[in-house]
Amino acid sequence: MNQEHVNNLAKGKDFWNEWRKHNVDIEPDFREAQLTDMDSHLVAPLKRRSLRGYDLSRANFWRANLRAVDLTEANLSEAYLNQAILEEADLSRANLQSAWVEEANLCKASFQETNLCSTQLWRSNLSRADCSNALFCHANLGATDLFKANFSNTCLRKSNLQGARLVETNFENADLGENSVWGVSAWDLNLEGSIQSNLIITSKDNAAITVDDLEIAQFIHILLNNQKIRKVLDTITSKVVLILGRFTSERKAILNALREELRSRDYLSVVFDFEKPSERDLTETVSTLAHLSRFVIADITDAKCIQQELQRIIPSLPSLPIQPIILDSQHDYGMFGDFGAYQSVLPPYRYKCIEQLLVSLDDKVIVPALRRAQEIAEKRREFEAHLR
């Protein structure tokens, strides 16, 4: 502990921040800190090694040593804690909303019931940290080390986990919905009772591809980037259903409805949204996903990019059933009729509204696609028997 640093902080965060401006190279040391009532109108007496309940919002703790310090219920909102040492610190019920905590050592720290919404934690070490019942909504956890960290009952919705190390991490009953998980390393996770919907497995520069299982997310990503694995698994029967369409803001309701209904039927829906910009070869990516799919649902309402993708998929995958759907008030695009010669392409199912589509999803979409897959397989077996 450096008593000068303790005394300066005791004079209030404004004095502290001004002092830091003129001492940028100093690494503050608060180990075993005891703040005395040096300025009674600014701070209250604090216990040994404790900053409990202290207002440190917007305070500058760059490279500060706060190891094992009690920060329970402290206000650290918008504070600057980059490269700080908070190993074994207690930040339970603290407020770190919108704080900067990049490249910090948070190993074995406690964040129980802590508010970390919109917090920047990029490349920080949270191994063995207790983050149970905390809020990490919109937080940046990119490239973090989450080895054996506890995120049980934690909300991580719409957070960034790109490149994070998830090994033996506990996500029991956690909400991981709409996370960006491109490049994660996920091994031996506890995902019991967790929400894993709409996980984005592509980088921010590519078209969004979403899946509903964290471990499947890593699997699909590997398939998209490893030609040998793709070929090995082409023949494996799966529960993957590829949904193609032009999902503008007006069409999002259809996308979400189809996704939810397929989930309830134990299918893994993979959605390709052509509205997002991409630097990758979209046609190649869609073709790879099609190879993994049991069947394809193609929404040809207001069709644009989907025309090119179907032109690539249908001739090259004659055994893959394609079930088109279209809003009843619209007409098929001009060249769609050319696909009538392919056995894999079923007649388009016309629906008037979302409710009708959902009610008839089994009878008009799923069952016909599965039946067509069986018919194609039987004809292939008959042809092979004839050749023998």
Please check whether residue 340 lies inside any domain of the structure. yes
Is pLDDT of 239 > 90?
no
The rounded distance, in Å, linking the Cα atoms of 227 and 219 is 13
Is pLDDT of 45 > 50?
no
- pLDDT for 40: 33
Q: How long is the chain?
A: 388
Report phi then psi at 258, rounded to 5: -60, -45
Please check whether residue 196 lies inside any domain of the structure. no
Please check whether residue 284 lies inside any domain of the structure. yes
The rounded distance, in Å, linking the Cα atoms of 213 and 56 is 38
Residues 6+ apart with CB under 8 A from 127: 107, 108, 145, 146, 147, 148, 149
The rounded distance, in Å, linking the Cα atoms of 384 and 366 is 27
Please check whether residue 208 lies inside any domain of the structure. no
Q: What is the mean pLDDT of residues 212-223?
A: 82
- pLDDT for 279: 47
Q: What is the mean pLDDT of residues 64-88?
A: 94
Is pLDDT of 49 > 90?
no
User: CA neighbours within 13 Å on the CB side: how many for 55?
Assistant: 7
Is pLDDT of 174 > 90?
yes
CB 132 within 8 A of CB 154: yes
307-362: pLDDT as tens digits? 778 888 999 999 999 999 998 888 776 677 788 788 999 999 999 998 999 999 99
Which range has the worst mean pLDDT, 41-55, 123-137, 170-184?
A: 41-55
Nearest CA to 293 out of 207, 209, 200 is that of: 209
The domain total for the chain is: 1
Please check whether residue 261 lies inside any domain of the structure. yes
- pLDDT for 34: 45
- Average pLDDT over the chain reads 85
Q: What is the mean pLDDT of residues 124-140?
A: 98
Nearest CA to 186 out of 208, 209, 163 is that of: 163
Higher pLDDT, 131 or 302: 131
Give the pLDDT band of residue 43 (cuts 50, 70, 90): very low
Q: Where are the beta strands (DSSP E) in the chain?
A: 165-167, 185-187, 199-200, 209-211, 240-245, 268-273, 295-299, 322-327, 349-351
Is pLDDT of 172 > 90?
yes
- pLDDT for 340: 79
297 forms beta bridges with 243, 323
Give the pLDDT band of residue 46 (cuts 50, 70, 90): very low
Q: What is the mean pLDDT of residues 167-193?
A: 95
Higher pLDDT, 287 or 38: 287
Segments forming the whole domain that contains residue 270: 237-388
Please check whether residue 255 lies inside any domain of the structure. yes
- pLDDT for 296: 94
109-120: pLDDT as tens digits? 999 999 999 999
- pLDDT for 237: 54
Which range has the worst mean pLDDT, 86-95, 153-162, 194-203?
A: 194-203
Please check whether residue 102 lies inside any domain of the structure. no
- Written as one string, the DSSP assignment of 176-229 is -TT-B-TT-EEES-B-TT-B-TTEE-S-TTS--EEES-HHHHHHHHHHHT-HHH
- pLDDT for 125: 98
Collapsed DSSP state (helix, strand, coil) of residue 59: coil
Higher pLDDT, 342 or 281: 342
Please check whether residue 117 lies inside any domain of the structure. no
CATH of the domain at 254: 3.40.50.450
